[in-house]
Structure 1
């Protein structure tokens, strides 16, 4: 963040109200350098556009002067036209000199501000991916312990807390996959965009009055060109597909586990609903039975066994249904626990193995890229 942010506070700078502090180039961030270069590029665009219009007017006046000469126009008319041509010529030269100053400033920003910021970014990415590699290596070692994990004494049922954690992990793994794709795509897009901009930046601005305008000479291969070209080549060769696939596959694993647990929770809810219904029906039967026998004699009760049995049958059926549902629920709990563990045992080691390999490749890439920028930091040129 200290490398790329707009916000100066990330750089650990004091929150001063001094305007000059903001104007200091040493306090520029990557984003503000780009913003400044964009402003100068817009200025250059306007100057080139105005220069083209000026050149068109100048050429029209030259053509008009030539026609007047051929027609033998009066000396006074010719002198006025020549004065206009001379004035346009002078304005054009001044505009070209202003344009060249703008080009020089863009080139200065490119070499003295943007290039160092890119070098900073490379060094930051080198440190980040080295740390990522170490973390993924540790995670990979930790998940290997899953292979010998004993869950025989752990709860068989999925609790609400466990279920919510699974849902959160499922969502975060999906986000991980999405953000990983964005990270790689945006890195490539940014470096490719800078490469494309640099190709245009190195093309001299053409004009037809070159003999009267002293344009600044541009280096054929500024340090930023080699950095960006190499960076782009390295990014294209990164083995990101394996990591992307591993994260995607683990997201599918989490989706499967989440569906298992969802089915288990639904069975649990059905059991609870049946239990509540049984409690309600049993209480209703008990109330009916107590009221019924108070009104009947022993002889009448003997004759009314069938009536009582009919009332009991609903309760007994519910009891049996509850027993069957609870047996099914217990079987489901064991299956979900075993399948979840089996999926995690295969999915977690694979995703962290892939991420270890990918972060190692990134670390190696940025180390190599960083080593190529070190001669520039000591004012030497890249080889």
Structure 2
């Protein structure tokens, strides 16, 4: 590898690493989801994908409408935690399934499906913390010991974070050991390989910079010697200049050999260590996508069967208005978190492969060829690049072809349904309070008027007995006592109307809650089934066995 090209490649690579978001290609845990955050649901748009053989796979598959089938039992025994395999049960054909039964089945499927990510987590060494030099640890230890006696409660969080780091290392070690026992395989140190490549590239960068400095001095001495020779300088001056040039030439040769040696070592690690580990990671992702597709398909079928059999909400639960309203708010928040984690998870995968493929592209020092029809698509196979370049380019195209837009749209729709359900619950609560207020007012007025009527009747009887006349004369056959009942009858009528309105509001809430599963979760699991199927198909078409 020429020295100047090495310097340009390294400079470009370091610039690319510094620009990469969210993580540079040589950091751990890029495929790991972040800490829980409340993320607003946002409809993501489709990307313009170059027309390659990978970008057409999903369209061809959707036209053929092939139903993929996989051996679930083999997948379970190869990838999942054996302690959880007993929880896998076939779908219940019973049509009388309420919300709790279906939701419990979906929850169990999620828990089992999450176990299929363990193999990928192990390959990426999830939980591994960046290396800390022993000298730094000793300094931190002494500093903490000195400030601990006078530490304020606010400063205690720093100590807690250091303790948490130690606990994280222990948990990660235990977690990886548990994974190793369950999947019967040795840890794949892809993260460690990337760490080593970074170390070697830093060495290469330093050597290239040193070589450039030596070359500048060498060229300067060569120009000086030429000027001395043309100016008729003395022989001693010429000899001294030539000796300086020889020393610089020796250093330059040593530096070039060091650059070549490091470049060879990087290429060996790239082809002999990184390539099989990347291939193993993609195989692990294929197994993960296959399992996720199977379980999302199972969840989708559960919802569909429930819909066909008119899944019923629990009527007794509808009476617990306040609890239901809070549950709706919690569900909407959890839906937002769910989509946020999903979006981050896919985003980290795309960022990971984009960084890795971008680094390889810079290693080739590739410049797109311009034609009258536009730029020629990047094809490392046609350039005669090693297999790792083809694998990562195919993987990058696969991830670029994956779109979360349908999942985002389904989740947005479900969030809208939940908000509408919340509005109906609020309206039902208002109608309930209004009916309760009128009922109490009616009961109060009923007691008061009953007392007044009894009092008036007793007074009427007393007057009639003495005089034989009525205390309250009747006009047109209507007794004044009847007027006392008019307001009460009017209030009774209003109360009946409000109770009917409340009953209608309860029915609306009940109907909305009953259809919430159908109109909300069905599109979500259908979108997830389609998404995981596309992801599986695209990953299966990555040319892992490519030979240049």
1 or 2, which has the higher helix percentage?
Answer: 1
Q: Among 49, 67, 76, which residue is 2:209 paired with?
A: 49
Once the two structures are superposed, what CA deviation does each residue of 1:16-57 show, in whole Å capped at 9, x if it has no partner? xxxxxxxxxx86633332233223222222221221122111
Compute the RMSD of aligned alpha carbons: 4.1
Equivalent positions of 1:211-250 (< 5 A) are 220-238=384-402, 240=403, 244-250=405-411
Residues 46, 277 of structure 1: alpha-carbon distance in 2 compared, 3 angstrom cutoff: farther
1:12 corresponds to which residue?
Answer: 177
The answer to whether the 8 Å contact 2:221/2:245 transfers is: yes
The answer to whether the 8 Å contact 2:411/2:524 transfers is: yes
1:256 corresponds to which residue?
Answer: 417
1:216 corresponds to which residue?
Answer: none
The answer to whether the 8 Å contact 1:250/1:351 transfers is: yes
Offset of residue 279 of structure 1: 4.5
1:327 corresponds to which residue?
Answer: 500
1:353 corresponds to which residue?
Answer: 526
The answer to whether the 8 Å contact 1:129/1:363 transfers is: yes
Offset of residue 118 of structure 1: 1.1
Residues 224, 150 of structure 1: alpha-carbon distance in 2 compared, 3 angstrom cutoff: closer
2:540 corresponds to which residue?
Answer: 367
Offset of residue 171 of structure 1: 2.5
Determine the C-alpha separation between the residues in 2 that align with 1:144 and 1:136: 12
The answer to whether the 8 Å contact 1:170/1:255 transfers is: no
Secondary structure of 2:547's counterpart equals coil
Does structure 1 residue 34 correspond to structure 2 residue 197?
no
Residues 142, 81 of structure 1: alpha-carbon distance in 2 compared, 3 angstrom cutoff: same
Determine the C-alpha separation between the residues in 2 that align with 1:147 and 1:161: 28
Residues 91, 317 of structure 1: alpha-carbon distance in 2 compared, 3 angstrom cutoff: farther
Once the two structures are superposed, what CA deviation does each residue of 1:116-166 show, in whole Å capped at 9, x if it has no partner? 221121111111111111111111211112232253873473634443433
Does structure 1 residue 171 correspond to structure 2 residue 171?
no
Where structure 2 has 5 or more consecutive residues not aligned to the other structure, the ranges are 1-120, 129-171, 180-185, 367-382, 463-470, 473-479
Offset of residue 61 of structure 1: 0.9
Secondary structure of 2:123's counterpart equals coil
The answer to whether the 8 Å contact 2:435/2:499 transfers is: no
Does structure 1 residue 121 correspond to structure 2 residue 281?
yes
Q: Among 261, 275, 284, which residue is 1:101 paired with?
A: 261
Q: Among 236, 240, 260, which residue is 1:80 paired with?
A: 240
Does structure 1 residue 137 correspond to structure 2 residue 301?
no
Residues 284, 69 of structure 1: alpha-carbon distance in 2 compared, 3 angstrom cutoff: farther
The answer to whether the 8 Å contact 1:158/1:264 transfers is: no
Residues 72, 281 of structure 1: alpha-carbon distance in 2 compared, 3 angstrom cutoff: farther
Offset of residue 382 of structure 1: 2.3
Scaled by the length of structure 2, the TM-score of the pair is 0.53
Determine the C-alpha separation between the residues in 2 that align with 1:318 and 1:92: 104
Where structure 1 has 5 or more consecutive residues not aligned to the other structure, the ranges are 15-25, 205-218, 376-380
Scaled by the length of structure 1, the TM-score of the pair is 0.73
Determine the C-alpha separation between the residues in 2 that align with 1:153 and 1:161: 14
Q: How many residues matched?
A: 345
The answer to whether the 8 Å contact 2:313/2:514 transfers is: no
The answer to whether the 8 Å contact 2:228/2:238 transfers is: yes
